[in-house]
Amino acid sequence: MNSNLCSRRDFSVRAGFLFTGLGMAAAAFGSTIPGTVGGATGKPVAEAPAGNEEISRTAEAIHQEVVFNASRKRVYEALTDAEQFTKVVRLSKVPGGPPAAISKEAGGAFSAFGGYITGRHIELVPNERIAQAWRAGGWEAGKYSIVRFELKEQGAQTKLVFDHTGFPNGDAEHLLEGWNTNYWEPLRKYLA
């Protein structure tokens, strides 16, 4: 009896070649299959895309949307004017220390909360957006995160869309509390 169907043995051999070929391809090109080994390093690449690049999927980030009863101009100025931000700090849970120092130029430095928070402005778009390389005093030397304040008009109010990325793992809870108690709550009081 001549059949076009393959025998169990033929099927097993062909399936073995198929899986072996897939395994070699994963090793050669990198694998996105959790638990597999790939790339030139031979490291597990459960978090890596195809190729030799590695991407961490374990980074923490903070995203908040806060509404203020003030215009975008007032919110922007309160965050970028040293005299105004010093008044905001005086309403926070850490009111002491020297006044804030805030450059009005992109690339300029800022310092607040007695120098505990420092960094540089990456982008300043008046009344619309602030992006900063931002760090806390207790971080490892040279470690900076990125904070971004996006101001959106909502009638007579302003919705501030806030994102904070690139900070040390494990700091999210502490930073989230800090943004709420030392920025958003005192800013609401100041703008009232």
- pTM as predicted: 0.71
- 184 shares a domain with 103: yes
Number of domains in the chain: 2
* Residue 9, domain extent: 1-58
- 85 shares a domain with 1: no
CA atoms of 119 and 79, how far apart (whole Å): 14
What single letter denotes the amino acid at residue 69?
N
- 129 shares a domain with 86: yes
pLDDT band at 5, cuts 50/70/90?
A: low
Quick check: 59 pLDDT over 80?
Answer: yes
Residue 53 pLDDT: 75
Instruction: Out of 26, 58, 90, pick the residue that ends a domain.
Output: 58
Residue 123 · residue 133 · CB < 8 Å:
no
Quick check: 165 pLDDT over 80?
Answer: yes
- 182 shares a domain with 131: yes
- 67 shares a domain with 42: no
- 116 shares a domain with 38: no
Average pLDDT over residues 160-167: 97
Residue 108 pLDDT: 98
Average pLDDT over residues 86-109: 95
CA atoms of 187 and 145, how far apart (whole Å): 22
Residue 52 pLDDT: 67
